[in-house]
Amino acid sequence: MLAHHRQVRDCLAHWRGVENDTAGDGFYATFDGPALAVRCALEVVDRVRGLGVEIRAGVHTGECETVDGKYGAIAVATGARLCALAGPSQILVSQTVKDLVTGSGLVFSDHGEPALRGLPQSWHLFVAAGPTRW
């Protein structure tokens, strides 16, 4: 687990992510923009695969508030639900993220519009698929 954490933290540093919380082998991080978050997740998938580990990631963007020094609100819950739906080595992003990163060179494939537990609407989701050069 130490090697996994080191790889994730190296990627967070490279893509200007801020580690907000960890639980076991899970990380919750925030970024200055959604393209940075997607690129970081893609790099983490590649790096930890060499350790025999497959991660799942969810990326969403939106307004947040701080409660007791931690980020919260529906944007955070949405990202967590995306992560829960992701398969091994899969990064799910919301339509919001896909729209905001148009022109970034990131590639996505459609993942449908599932209901997200506890959220008031369905969300159109996409799988981030590259590029794989950092």
The verdict on residue 134 lying in a domain is no
Give the chain's domain count: 1
The verdict on residue 133 lying in a domain is no
The verdict on residue 90 lying in a domain is yes
Q: Is the full-model pTM beyond 0.95?
A: no
The verdict on residue 109 lying in a domain is yes
Domain interval for residue 123 = 2-128
The verdict on residue 40 lying in a domain is yes
The verdict on residue 8 lying in a domain is yes
The verdict on residue 44 lying in a domain is yes
Taking only the tens of pLDDT, the chain with its 134 residues reads: 789 999 999 999 999 999 999 988 889 999 999 999 999 999 999 999 999 999 999 999 999 888 888 888 888 889 999 999 999 999 999 999 999 999 999 999 999 998 888 887 788 999 998 765 55
The verdict on residue 80 lying in a domain is yes
CATH code assigned at 121: 3.30.70.1230
Give burial (CB, 10 Å; 0-12/13-18/19+) of 5: middle
Query: Residue with structure tokens 């896909």?
Result: 98
Angle between helices 34-49 and 2-14 in degrees, nearest 10? 150
Return d(Cα 76, Cα 28) in angstroms, integer: 9
